[in-house]
Structure 1
Amino acid sequence: MIKLISVIISTYNPNQEKLDLTIKHLEEQSLSKDCWELIIVDNNSSKDVKINCSPALSYQLIKEFKQGLTHARLAGIRAAKGELVVLVDDDNLLMPDYLENAASFFSANLNLGAAGGKILPAFDNEPEAWLADFYELLAIRNLGDEVMLARWDNTYPKVSPVGAGMVLRMNALTDYLNKEHLILDRTGNTLSSGGDNDIVIEVLKAGWEVGYFPSLELKHLIPPSRTTFKYISKLTKESSKSWVVLLLSHHICPWKKIPRYTLPIRKIKAWFAYKAWSNKTNYIKWKGACGTFDGLAT
């Protein structure tokens, strides 16, 4: 049985209303508060982070001065005392049974190293229709209602959890914690990513299973600023580059590296191949291709 879960919220200049909601949903967890701890990591915010919660909820607030989500998560994990770690962003609303379900799944499957579930969007405003093609970039995922598990086979499994709500067995993190970390995640206002994928790969390579459990459900609060054409275009390009760099670092990249001097002509050819001028979706996909080229030229 899992005796203690460590919930880690990493935050940087948070929206106070969304952070308050994130904590409120943790307060409403069905799992007894004696069975989990809350660690909040302030990732060098420009002003003090204010924590609003009931007196019944105790928490530990630590500050990580090294900028970047990876640094913040590492600080939280190293401060954690639980057998399980749950990574929560400061705009994630966990359903009331989230922690209880996590404890149950990991108690029943002793080879389970990492897990996630459904991440449903909660938009402040109704987004334009084209955004649906890029939900995955916004950590929105719904793989259905069946439990799915995967092991390492030198490829990245589709069922792998993403950072929002990711549940990790502490014993599965030994190799990840002891490695030299490739910092791909967001630092300040950059939109690079991949730190959560790096965790999953290290867990898999260490011999653990990863899984998708649909009853691990949370809502992701998404403001209008993250649904704009400009934002998604930039996010797509930077995420694509980060993904390639990550795959190269683990020697599982399916594409060959390319000379940097070929970048301009490749991007021009891709502009026409994707018909990037024709609509927003095609333009964003072209930006993703440009990011991939940039990654392969590193």
Structure 2
Amino acid sequence: MRITVIIPTYNPNINRIHQTIAALKDQTFPHHMWELIIVDNNSSTNFTTDIDISWHPNRYIIKEDKQGLTYARLAGFKIAKGDIIIMVDDDNILEENYLVNVYEIFNSYPFLGAAGGKSLPIYESPAPVWLFQFESSLAIRNLGEEKIINKWENHFPYSSPIGAGMALRTVALERYISRIEIRGNNIITDRNATTLSSGGDNDIVIDILKSGWQVGYFPNLELKHIIPTERMKVPYLARLNHDTNKSWIILLQSHGINPWKKIPPQSVLPRKIKAWFTYKAWKNKGNYIKWKGACGMYEALSI
């Protein structure tokens, strides 16, 4: 059983991606038993000259011109040779036994299709108190010290793996990849240069669950997620909450599991105005960010 690590990236911060690569270099899992694929998602900078992966015997840098995290992941999936794929963001620092633990988990749970664990923050500057209520939007999670395993029950399990550090059994991706190829450009592209939409990782998880596989949370899978100062500011978080909520509804609708009723397009503006007062969006930063999230939901429900 081999492992493939895929790092999709777009104009990465060199300092952060250096930390990501250094943590991979320090993995206790032997280098010859896994491969490293970096996917340049049409970056405007030539960052590849600033990183060193010569230490790895099975390393590849490929380019995907279609903008969007989903396209970059797919490009990596198509050339991956591993039985297990681990998706690593360019600001993730994996704990040194991460690959070993993934290997052991998938050997121990033959019906497991996807696994994830803890994603703990490294704030590049002091985090304001009000920020912590939005940590899940920043791909920060800690569900405790007990493992949780789920199967498909016609809804999205709260403990499902998130994209950062998600490990996938390659054979369990078949349904997802086939569906994406059939739909062509009508897919959830996830984040790109112009939007902070998300849901691509959840789309993968739902297809894996619908295929009959299990997904799980394992606390011994731990990584650090670097949170830069600009992602702790109100304009970014407001946009993030808006785009994330909107794409979440669209994702649920695409799988027929959206619990909210559709709304008429002409009702969107009145609902936004009412929500402004319901959330008291003028009172503080947190309320304003939540209101922007509600606006994203209304827009999605009107489509």
TM over 0.5: yes
Residue aligning to 2:56: 57
Residue 54 of structure 1: how far off its partner (Å)? 5.6
Matching residue within 212, 223, 229 for 2:234 = 229
Residue aligning to 1:31: 29
Describe how 1:55-134 pairs up with structure 2 within 5 A.
55-58=54-57, 59-134=59-134
Residue 171 of structure 1: how far off its partner (Å)? 0.7
Give yes or no for the alignment of 1:248 onto 2:249: no
Residue aligning to 1:40: 38
Q: 1:52 & 1:169 partners in 2: Cα distance?
A: 28
Deviates more, 1:25-34 or 1:172-181: 172-181
Task: Name stretches of at least 5 consecutive residues in structure 2 with no aligned partner.
Answer: none
Residue aligning to 1:265: 270
Deviations 1:121-177 (A, max 9, x none): 001101111000000000000000100010111110011011000000001000000
Give me the identity figure in percent.
Answer: 53
Describe how 1:148-163 pairs up with structure 2 within 5 A.
148-163=148-163
Residue aligning to 1:191: 196
Residue 34 of structure 1: how far off its partner (Å)? 1.3
What SS does the corresponding residue of 1:89 show, helix, strand or coil?
coil
Residue aligning to 1:147: 147
What SS does the corresponding residue of 2:43 show, helix, strand or coil?
coil
Please tell me the root mean square deviation across aligned C-alpha atoms, in Å. 1.0
Matching residue within 239, 248, 267 for 2:244 = 239
Task: Name stretches of at least 5 consecutive residues in structure 1 with no aligned partner.
Answer: none
Runs of 4+ in structure 1 over 4 Å off: none
User: Are the aligned partners of 1:233 and 1:287 in contact in 2 as well (CA < 8 Å)?
Assistant: yes
Describe how 1:270-285 pairs up with structure 2 within 5 A.
270-285=275-290
Q: 1:66 & 1:285 partners in 2: Cα distance?
A: 31
Residue 273 of structure 1: how far off its partner (Å)? 1.2
Residue aligning to 1:297: 302
User: Are the aligned partners of 2:21 and 2:53 in contact in 1 as well (CA < 8 Å)?
Assistant: no
Q: 2:162 & 2:233 partners in 1: Cα distance?
A: 22
Return the letter of the residue paired with 2:301.
L
Residue aligning to 2:6: 8
What SS does the corresponding residue of 1:252 show, helix, strand or coil?
coil
User: Are the aligned partners of 2:123 and 2:229 in contact in 1 as well (CA < 8 Å)?
Assistant: yes
TM-score normalised by structure 2 residue count: 0.96
